[in-house]
Copies of this chain bind each other. A is one copy, B any other.
Amino acid sequence: MEIPYKIYLNEDEIPKQWYNVRADMKNKPAPLLNPGTLQPMTAQELEQVFCADLVKQELDNDTPYFDIPEEIYQFYKMYRPSPLVRAYFLEKALDTPAKIYYKFEGNNTSGSHKLNSAIAQAYYAKKQGLKGVTTETGAGQWGTALSMACAFFDLDCKVYMVKCSYEQKPFRREVMRTYGASVTPSPSNETEVGKKILAEFPGTTGSLGCAISEAVEKAVSSEGYRYVLGSVLAQVVLHQSIIGLETKTALDKYGIKPDIIIGCAGGGSNLGGLIAPFMGEKLRGEADYRVIAVEPASCPSFTRGKYAYDFCDTGMVCPLAKMYTLGSGFIPAANHAGGLRYHGMSSILSQLYDDGLMEAVSVEQTAVFDAAQKFARVEGILPAPESSHAIRAAVDEALKCKETGEEKTIVFGLTGTGYFDMYAYQRFNDGEMTDRIPTDAELAESLSKLPKV
């Protein structure tokens, strides 16, 4: 059967349920802990911060499938199914016997996979009768996605945007405003934690961990608001499973079995979603796949971090999570993959990695943009810097196949487009891109401050 360039499922083949990979994990991810009592967070405690239905999903390690509510499903039809693309042109350019596929999540206005969870979280907030939600955004993809979702359900949306990103990406901000969101550069004077950080570090350009603290504080101190988060959490991995489920349906349709599945990993939402059904088969002993997480060398949570309980935010207002972490005080060198600069990693993926069920590699920024540019020229899609980490690793695997002559099937997640990242491409085009990898001493220093649990 000839494989088309783009495999589009029919609309009625969009999955009707999300898959919860935790149900098939023997070793469950460790629970979130109350930072005061060091006891597992209860539903009641979590509901102060998060929407009630989302707390249920967050705490449920056993239910394998969750029905996708009809309102969310209708919204999914606006931009899903997303195409699974056979990278014929890339294969040809690399002259590799490998067969390369990528699941492209960038063909929606948010420009990334983030919309899959944003619309779900907005829906549950609306269902609960809330007025609005608060969140943080770094690169801006999550903030954009949430703005779109909130506009659809007529919810107020308050975004704390890391200040350096707010200033460098005014157009991201305008997309959010066009969708009716209010966008505040973080740290701000709107919150106690923001004021404290500004007093301690005047002139700081902010960080994701700090913006999270502000958004959480704003949510818990405002009537009718809750906080929502675009990555790391188990509920997000659940919603993002739609990526993997569609991918698997499309591959199964053509009788294709991947050998290697690759995704970039920041907080783990895209990778967790992409691999979910494949990992499920692996956990149940039904199939085997190599799974590779790709992270920036400047922020190497998996490859150089520690598996331990840590704070999720700078202000230490969030629960503790057990995860591969570089320490909540770790500040990665400036790089252009804003979505991959988080110090920690999804607890689900951390457990899978610790159990040896997946691998991780780190890649340097110039090599990433080199792959991104080549990909853009042959495949016609200008990828986001984050997504390009996966391209780099996929290309490297395909080049290994060229050496060995193996006809491996490689599937990677192309999470989004780089239209709002042209400053980064400009640096690359001008030969001015740099990267800085943390020293062992720096990491040791940062990791020495993990909480004692």
Contact = CB atoms under 8 A, between A and B. Distances in A.
Interface residues of A, number: 43
Contact of A152 (B78, B109, B378, B420): B378
A242 to B, nearest CB: 16
A66 interface: no
Contacts of A429: 174, 177-178
B377 A426 contact: no
A381 B109 contact: yes
A382 B175 contact: yes
Nearest to A115: B380
Interface in A7-28: 8, 10-11
Contact of A77 (B5, B77, B381): B5
A180 B377 contact: yes
A416 B429 CA distance: 25
A109 B382 contact: yes
Nearest to A3: B11
A151 B379 CA distance: 11
A417 interface: yes
Copies per complex?
2
Given A107-B107, A109-B417, A171-B423, A376 B6 contact: no
A335 interface: no
Interface in A94-121: 107-109, 111
Contacts of A380: 75, 78-79, 108-109, 148, 152
Contact of A5 (B8, B78, B178, B382): B78
Contacts of A180: 377
A4 interface: yes
A376 B378 CA distance: 30
Contacts of A89: 78
A170 interface: yes
Nearest to A377: B151
Among A107, A108, A179: residue with most chain B CB under 10 A:
A107
A201 interface: no
A373 B109 CA distance: 13
A170 B109 contact: no
Nearest to A104: B107
A363 interface: no
A174 B171 CA distance: 15
Interface in A417-431: 417, 419-420, 422-423, 425-426, 428-429
A179 B78 contact: no
Contacts of A417: 109
30 contacts: A4-B77, A5-B11, A5-B77, A6-B11, A6-B77, A8-B8, A75-B380, A78-B379, A109-B381, A109-B382, A111-B419, A148-B377, A151-B376, A151-B377, A152-B378, A170-B426, A171-B419, A171-B422, A171-B423, A171-B426, A174-B426, A174-B429, A175-B419, A175-B422, A177-B426, A177-B429, A178-B422, A179-B377, A419-B419, A419-B420
Interface of A: 4-6, 8, 10-11, 75, 77-79, 89, 107-109, 111, 148, 151-152, 170-171, 174-175, 177-180, 373, 376-382, 417, 419-420, 422-423, 425-426, 428-429
